[in-house]
Structure 1
Amino acid sequence: MKTTTLTAVAIAVLVAAGGGYFLGQKQSHQPETQPQPTGRKVLYWYDPMMPGQRFDKPGKSPFMDMQLVPRYADEEKAAAGVGISVQQQQNLGMKTTKAQLHQLNVPFSAFATVSTDERGVTVVSAPANGVVKRLYVNAPQQQVKAGEALAQLWIPQWTTAQQEYLAVRQLGDAGLTRAARERLALQFMPEEVIRALERSGKPQTMLTLRATKAGYVVKLDVREGAQITATAPLFEIASLDPVWLVIDYPQTQAQSLSVGTEVVATTQSWPGEQFHGTVSELLPQMETTTRTLKARIVLNNAGQKLKPGMYLSVSRAQTAERPPVLAVPEEAVINSGESTRLLLATGDGYFRPVNVKTGLTAQGWTEITSGLKEGDDVVTSGQFLIDSEANLRSVMPEVTQ
């Protein structure tokens, strides 16, 4: 009886083990690609590790050793953005603001150095070979007035031509007299010397050089008693009204200045006083050591208070305000290097990135020239985490079938 009972138990164990084995073999041979029916419409299948690729049939991913995941029709809204619950938004510190028309005025300030207006530099040269008999201005940087005597020259070679003119003039022939007078002018003889010759009837070999305008002597290349040759430069005279300002400003402010821009300059040498000028040229070369641009400004200096070498602070003069432009806070803009985008709040806790084109940035706001409309809700804080999630879910790029 005891033996019969043990035999029955052994047979039961073998039957159970065999049934489990065959059941396992049956389940292991069932196809794994058959999705469980859920009653939900499937739009496409995708690999969660490669969300940019879509498939129209279920199966195993060609990229990873895993099954494709279905995207259902009721998830279509979520596919157009990233859903964030209210609690998660609070945890991320998310903030939004509306795109709005904003007045953007770019402030501009720079430092500048006063220099001589080289367009106003005049050169006083010798009209003929001669000798410097006397110098009235004998030191560089000396101030001179318009018409002030600079030097007295003795030019003996004029004697022969002047004597010939006096002889022709005594003949009374108007044509010959006119020709002889023109010959004197061709020898660079000033009109005042010719008239003195006509009044006195004697050769005039002494010439006084005078300053044609007020200024100061930049260069003095002659001394008393020196022999000079025709056209040799003797003096260089520069004016202090106007003067040049050469300013250095960063390349990020390249759009702030243009030819004709009015500027205001101030200096600690004259507190409370303003000097007005205009941008005359944007110099073509960038300073390689400081990576700055240069501009040349013509500055009025009627009182001659500004001297070459002085430092000034320069700002742009108040001009007519620019028309308002569509703008968002500067921190809302996501610049990846390849594209510029914003994150929009589409409602119901969903957020969607959009590509935009930007313009001017000033006072903490950035101009949006395309890709956005007034009143759109833009995320200004926490947008980088959501943007990364959106890219993982292939919201930004268009995926292919």
Structure 2
Amino acid sequence: MACALLLGLATSAVAAEPTPNEVTIRLDERQYRAAGIEVTRVEAEAGTTQTVLPGTVGVPPAQLRIVAAPAAGLVEEVLVAPNEPVTAGQPIARLRSPDLLEAQRLYLQALSAEQLAAEKLRRDEQMHRERIIAERRLLTTRADHDYARTSLQEREQMLALLGMAEADIRALREQRRMVPALTVIAPAEGVVLEVRASAGERIAPAAPLFSIARLDPLWITLQMPLAQANAIVPGTRVSVPGTPAQGEVIRLGRSVDATTQSLAAVVEVSDGAEALRPGQVVSASVALRPNGTPQWRLPSGAVVRHAGQSWVFVRTQGGFRARPVVVVAETASTVSLRAKLAPDDHVATRGILSLLAELTEVYGG
């Protein structure tokens, strides 16, 4: 029965007209039999299908804030815990720092120098109006005052960079009383993902203390097989079964993971993000929409990969035609693909190593 089918295909089955990038492989009946090639008829299926891909939930980089220690010192108190929501400006830790004391001392010193330079400038301006001093001396005094004022502004900015609040800087300027500790505040509203310091710990400047993130929306980074690279496009809808989480693909990776030979597809979950957790591993259902190209189902062994493209070998009167296809879903036994095939086309499913060798020779490795 199988032999009769093969003989019939050798004389009557004709594939569609060649399309660009196809490769014709000449194969007579003797070579066909010697290679042990078996073929099967393509099976049409609906144009829309679902494929399930693994992914990892993460926080978009623009929504993640790392709070670092503004100065070296001793952590006196940690005021928040992991998974605790915080608001912008909320105190989250207190830090006792000798660097802060030194910065305040230099600020007060610059403040005194600026006030002295201002008083000297006022006096020299009065003396210049009375023609007691030359204009050159007045210009020198003005330059000295500008320098002192700039130095004071620099020291004030240093206090702000160390995390000192504006109200505390104003109190230091007016009361000249230094404070030994500073309060670390949350830079934005979000949830504390990680606390990296504890009370009593000595820390270095810029040491990370907290990770704070806004958790809506979230991203899912899907691991997409290279064979499906052309089937998933930005805008493709994605859902997480068992949860209300839904979103769409916003970006496709351009580099291939050398170990898994997969691409990364980033999904932004805009609906139901509260059901997901950063770091969670999920199985996402990807809805592949029809694109006008017919969709077919074949045994998984019918598809080969060569030169960055998936191929099937379509039986013709003179041999086979290697035709590029787009894989949209794949299981251990079957594969769904999109290609310009006809309902009566037959493709090779076994013994295709010889056909692949011909494709490599003609198309290039």
TM-score (norm 1): 0.52
Which residue of structure 2 aligns with residue 189 of structure 1?
162
Match of 1:124?
67
* Pick aligned residue for 2:96 from 154, 160, 170: 154
1:262 aligns with: 236
Runs of 4+ more than 4 Å apart: 91-106, 291-294, 327-331, 334-339, 361-365, 377-381
Question: Aligned-residue CA RMSD in angstroms?
Answer: 4.5
1:167 and 2:112 are equivalent in the alignment = yes
Residue aligning to 1:353: 318
1:301-346 Cα distance to aligned partner (Å, 9 max, x none): 675332131524231475xx53558x99979xx9999994433xxx
Aligned to 2:361: none
Change (3 A) 1:214 1:249: same
- The answer to whether the Cα contact below 8 Å between 2:216 and 2:274 also exists between their aligned partners in 1 is yes
**CA positional deviation for 1:150:** 0.7
- Secondary structure of 1:160's partner? helix
Tell me the alpha carbon deviations over residues 196-254 of structure 1, each in whole angstroms, 9 at most, x when there is no partner. 43354433443221111233333323222333332222222233233231323434323
Q: Any idea what the Cα deviations from partners look like across 1:39-66, whole Å, max 9, x if unmatched?
A: xxxxxxxxxxxxxxxxxxxxxxxxxxxx
**2:256 alignment counterpart:** 284
Return 5+ residue gaps in structure 2 as ranges: 20-43, 119-144, 328-335, 349-365
DSSP-derived class of the 1:168 partner: helix
CA distance in 1, matches of 2:255, 2:169: 46
Counterpart mapping for 1:181-220 below 5 A: 181-186=153-158, 188-190=161-163, 192=166, 193-220=168-195
Distance 2:102 2:177 in 1: 14
Distance across 2 between alignment mates of 1:124 and 1:328: 53
Q: How does 1:19-38 map to 2 (within 5 A)?
A: none
- Give the Cα separation in 1 of the matches to 2:318 and 2:191: 65
- The CA deviation at 1:268 is 0.7
Judging by fraction of residues, say which structure has more helix.
2
Tell me if 1:140 matches 2:59.
no
Counterpart in 2 of 1:274?
A: 246
1:226 aligns with 2:195: no
- Higher radius of gyration, 1 or 2: 1
Partner Cα separation in structure 2 for residue 282 and residue 379 of structure 1: 37
SS in 2 for 1:146: coil
Q: Are the aligned partners of 1:116 and 1:238 in contact in 2 as well (CA < 8 Å)?
A: no
Is the 8 Å Cα contact of residues 264 and 274 (structure 1) preserved in structure 2? yes
Secondary structure of the residue aligned to 1:304 is: helix
Query: Cα distance, 1:151 vs. partner?
Result: 0.8
Asked if structure 1 preserves the Cα contact closer than 8 Å seen for 2:293 and 2:339, the reply is no
**Could you tell me whether the CA contact under 8 Å between 2:223 and 2:262 is conserved in 1?**
yes
The 3 A distance-change label for structure 1 pair 97 and 378 is farther
Relative to structure 1, the CA distance from residue 199 to residue 160 in structure 2 (aligned partners, 3 Å threshold; closer, same or farther) is: closer
Which structure's relative contact order is higher, taking Cα pairs within 8 Å and 6+ residues apart? 2
Q: Deviations over 1:61-114 (max 9, x none)?
A: xxxxxxxxxxxxxxxxxxxxxxxxxxx89x969997995999995745223344
Task: State whether residues 87 and 188 of structure 2, in contact with CA within 8 Å, keep that contact through their aligned partners in structure 1.
Answer: yes
Q: Secondary structure at the match of 2:108?
A: helix
Which AA in structure 2 matches 1:305? A
Structure 1 residues 330, 285: closer, same or farther in 2, change over 3 A? closer
1:153-188 CA-partner distances (Å, limit 9, x unpaired): 233333311321332343363521232221342463
Equivalent residue, structure 2, for 1:47: none
Instruction: State the partner residue of 2:51.
Output: 109
Paired residues of 2:225 and 2:263 also in contact (CA < 8 A): yes
* Partner Cα distance (2:190, 2:324) in 1: 46
* AA partner of residue 75 (structure 2): V
- Would the aligned equivalents of 1:123 and 1:237 in 2 still touch at CA under 8 Å? yes
- Once residues 277 and 175 of structure 2 are traced to their aligned partners in structure 1, the CA distance between those partners, rounded to angstroms, is 46
The question of whether the paired residues in 2 share the 8 Å contact of 1:132 and 1:227 is answered with: yes
Identity within the alignment, %: 19
The TM-score with structure 2 as length reference comes to 0.57
Counterpart of 1:356 in 2: which secondary structure? strand
2:269 is aligned with 1:299: yes
Cα distance change, pair 361–106 in 1 and its aligned pair in 2 (3 A): farther
Q: Distance in 1 between matches of 2:297 and 2:203?
A: 70
Confirm or deny: 8 A CA contact 2:241 2:283 kept in the other structure. Answer: yes
Deviation digits for residues 88-146 of structure 1 (CA, Å, limit 9, x no counterpart): 89x96999799599999574522334433262432212222333232211x33333233
Count of matched residue positions in the alignment of Structure 1 and Structure 2: 268
Amino acid across the alignment from 1:257: I
Change (3 A) 1:357 1:95: closer
Cα distance in 2 for residues equivalent to 1:378 and 1:301: 40
Query: Residues 317 and 177 from structure 1, CA distance in 2 versus in 1: closer, same or farther, beyond 3 angstroms?
Result: farther
Distance 1:200 1:269, change over 3 A: farther
